[in-house]
Amino acid sequence: QKEVEQNSGPLSVPEGAIASLNCTYSDRGSQSFFWYRQYSGKSPELIMSIYSNGDKEDGRFTAQLNKASQYVSLLIRDSQPSDSATYLCATLSGAGSYQLTFGKGTKLSVIP
């Protein structure tokens, strides 16, 4: 059974701080990793993807991957109230897999 674990939160950070969201996964065959953001009452939208060990930066967002530890994280620098949402971690196992496995999400609140 493939599992993706996230702390459900809520995680509260003050505006301007760094928000750190963490995710672990059970399937060692996972090759692709994604972070989706979901605002309340809205659909998920992809904000970051990462495939290799290390860091990947995109604006205020940095995804970090450690396959040996089966761990992926998302850092949000200079957090803004508009970043308040639920962040879903997802993994894709191997080439030819059509199935994303999602974690239950971490709710982030950025306090002005």
Partner 1 sequence: DTAVSQTPKYLVTQMGNDKSIKCEQNLGHDTMYWYKQDSKKFLKIMFSYNNKELIINETVPNRFSPKSPDKAHLNLHINSLELGDSAVYFCASSQAGGGSNEKLFFGSGTQLSVL
Query: For residues 33 and 80, what is the distance between their CA atoms, to the nearest angstrom?
Result: 24
- Write out the two tokens for 2: 């493939």
Which phi and psi (to 5°) does residue 42 adopt? Answer: -120, 175
7 binds partner 1 (CB under 8 A): no
54 binds partner 1 (CB under 8 A): no
Rounded to a whole number of angstroms, the minimum distance from the CB of residue 2 to partner 1 is 11
- Tell which one of 10, 42, 58, 77 touches partner 1 (CB under 8 A): 42
Q: What is the dihedral angle through the alpha carbons of 43, 59, 20, 101, rounded to the nearest 10 degrees? A: 40
Rounded to a whole number of angstroms, the minimum distance from the CB of residue 78 to partner 1 is 25
CA 80: distance to chain centroid? 17
For residues 25 and 36, which CB has a smaller minimum distance to partner 1 in the complex? Answer: 36
Q: Which residues bind partner 1 (CB under 8 A)?
A: 31-32, 34, 36, 38, 42-46, 49, 51, 86, 88, 92, 95-100, 102, 104-105
